[in-house]
Amino acid sequence: MPQFETTYLISQIFWLLISFGGLYLGIQFLVFPLLNSIFKARQYQVDTIIDRAELLTKKVQDLEEKQEQYKQRQEKRYSERLAMTQEKSFKLFQEELTKTEKALLKSFQTKIQKMEHIEKEILDQSGDFVAKAIKGRL
């Protein structure tokens, strides 16, 4: 086999060292720096995206807090308005109830007076009737 002949062994070792040395130097000074710059650029983009995402997350949280505060203020306003409306309604109801009670009381008093007057007339007439009846029998 010619590759194992000792006459060519030194030239083969020489070219082996030259080839692998060139390959090593090419990878070390060309390929690795290129890959390193690519990885750094990708890492920079990832960091930028993460920073933007954190910023947007903070903005969303701020908006949610503002929304919650607004919601609480609105609920407080609605509660106050509801309480005022209920209070007004209750006062109006009480006023109407008082007016109605007074009107009913007056109406009942009038009816009672009429009934007493009628009762008195009936008693007077019945007394006259009984007196006439006694006189007519006697």
Q: Is the predicted pLDDT of residue 18 greater than 60, yes or no?
A: yes
Predicted confidence at residue 9, as pLDDT, reads 81
Q: pLDDT tier at 44 (50, 70, 90 boundaries)? A: very high
| DSSP three-state, residue 119 | helix
Predicted confidence at residue 2, as pLDDT, reads 67
Are 3 and 12 contacting, i.e. CB atoms less than 8 angstroms apart? yes
Handedness of CA 88, 94, 97, 99 (dihedral sign): negative
Q: Find the Cα–Cα–Cα–Cα dihedral 10, 15, 21, 23, rounded to 10°.
A: -150
- Residue 95 sits in which domain range? 2-137
Percent of the chain with pLDDT over 70: 95
| DSSP three-state, residue 96 | helix
CA angle at 105 for the pair 102 and 107, rounded to the nearest 5°: 110
* Token pair in block for residue 70: 């607004």
Predicted confidence at residue 3, as pLDDT, reads 67
**How many structural domains does the chain have?**
1
Q: pLDDT tier at 1 (50, 70, 90 boundaries)? A: low
Q: Which residue is listed with tokens 């106050």?
A: 80
Shortest CA distance to 121 belongs to which of 129, 133, 109, 110? 129
pTM: 0.48
Q: Is the predicted pLDDT of residue 128 greater than 80, yes or no?
A: no
Residue pLDDT, tens place only, 67-123: 999 999 999 999 999 999 999 999 999 999 999 999 999 999 999 999 999 888 888
- Phi and psi at 36, nearest 5°, equal -60, -45
